[in-house]
Amino acid sequence: MTEGAFQGIKVVEFGHFLLVPIATAIMADLGADVIKVENPRGGEPARFPIPVENVSPPADIPLLWFHQFNRGKRSLALDVNKKEGRELLYELVEKADVFATNFDPRFVDRAEADYDTLSKINPGLIYCQCTGAEHCHAEVHAGGEGCREPGRGSHPGLHLEVRERNIG
């Protein structure tokens, strides 16, 4: 952990691949204490190299991404599908300033890591949820399939939702 503008800020990262890991890596660069929550059955998919052909010299791009975008963080493997894993996540959230996720909103809801649940545990929590497309985000919460529907583009936009601290 380095000193900087985010010194003393505690961040729980509940994300994968690029969007949230990049954001929280920058927070770590600025001094935040970032704890990355990973799946105990393998962790972040980018941890594992996938050789890229026709590149000289051969490169393991996902592995490079993992190291680049997870620098300065601590990590913890939790199975949030189990009550014990969720309870440990809630202990982290109780002491956190920021919670950041880019998992599918349906998974976040099933894992009971949604804003309504976590803000009851920590009313001062800044909750940041990022999804790949604003219109997909709304449809997913309405019970639809969002961008999984045929004919939908995979990157039509970016939806970032930040719920601010409840200061009473």
DSSP state of 111: T
**pLDDT tens digits for range 24-71:** 999 999 999 999 999 998 777 777 766 666 655 555 566 677 778 889
**Residue 107 C-beta-side C-alpha neighbours within 13 Å:** 13
What's the pLDDT score for residue 158?
47
pLDDT of residue 157: 45
pLDDT in tens, 153-163: 333 444 555 66
129, pLDDT greater than 80: yes
DSSP string, 43-83: --GGGS--PBTT-SS-B-HHHHHHHHHTTTEEEEE--TTSH
The domain ranges of the chain are 10-163
Contact 45, 66 (CB under 8 A): no
What integer best gives the mean pLDDT of the chain? 79
Contact 107, 131 (CB under 8 A): no
Top CATH class of 10-163 equals alpha beta
Q: Which of 16, 3, 17, 10 is nearest to 34 (CA)?
A: 10
User: CA-CA distance, 12 to 15, in Å (whole number)?
Assistant: 9
Give the mean pLDDT of 127-133: 79
**Beta carbons within 10 angstroms of residue 102's beta carbon:** 23
Taking the C-alpha atoms of residue 146 and residue 115, their distance in angstroms, rounded to an integer, is: 20
What are 126's two structure tokens? 């800044």
Q: Which two tokens stand for residue 60?
A: 């393991």
Angstrom distance (rounded) from CA 109 to CA 141:
10
pLDDT band at 10 (very low <50, low <70, confident <90, very high): very high
